Amino acid sequence: MNDDQLLRYSRHILLEDIGIEGQERILEAKVLIIGAGGLGSPAALYLASAGAGHIMLVDDDQVDLTNLQRQIMHTTARVGSNKAESGRDALLQINPGIDVTAVCERVGDQRLAELVRGATVVLDCTDNFKTRHAVNRACFAAGVPLVSGAVIRFDGQISVYDPRGAATPCYSCLFPEGQNFEDAACSTMGVFAPLVGVIGAMQAAEALKLITGIGTSLAGRLLLLDGRAMEWTSIRVGKNPDCPICN
């Protein structure tokens, strides 16, 4: 690290669990963030400020005025711009010393597999089951840890699905494909803005823990947040022996 980096990341370096070695791991990391909206905004902003060396933002959507209530990576001036490109501009303003790639496309399975294979960790910041299952399949096929978050109305959830642990469940263990889980869209159900900040920031924290190897991840646990009561529920989740994805 150069002198500017030592100063910029000094508060991380002061943490005994991170130090210079951990910060160097962060600087060398490649983080793939699927979705540059409500969850992707705080997650990406914190990862950029922490010095994640290469961030790949994937989103084919455009910034809309209705997004600005919660998608803090975007601005009024960038309404109509692609979200991945808008996010790239925001991250580089915070930290010009990192690399940010904007992937302005709806990635299919093959392209997704390519992106995941090159990543240190993947963050699922999407809002539909189809994409979440596709990301989960790609991560377990490539052996790359996945940090998954979701928020709707006043409720949030977060977990880590880590294929490097033999007993660790995948996303499909909890929410099997083929079962009729209903996608709930913010456009029709609403979402309490600060909750995407809470869950997105936690996704960044879990990603940094995985990158640096500190602490205990949320693998095998599902955290549920009731935003009305501001109460957390932690549920232990096990691997489904019949899961076709992680067995």
Q: Which residues are catalytic?
A: 186
User: CA 184, 189, 190, 194: dihedral to nearest 10 degrees?
Assistant: -50
Q: Cα–chain-centroid distance for residue 237? A: 20
Q: Find the angle CA(29)-CA(56)-CA(165) to the nearest 5 degrees.
A: 50
* Maximum distance among all Cα pairs of the chain, rounded to whole angstroms: 54
For 108-114, the CB contacts below 8 A with 24+ separation are 109/134, 109/137, 109/138, 112/138, 113/138, 113/141, 113/142
Report whether 154 contacts 193 (CB < 8 A). no
| Residues paired with 191 in a beta bridge | 153
On whether the CB atoms of residues 217 and 202 are closer than 8 A, the answer is no
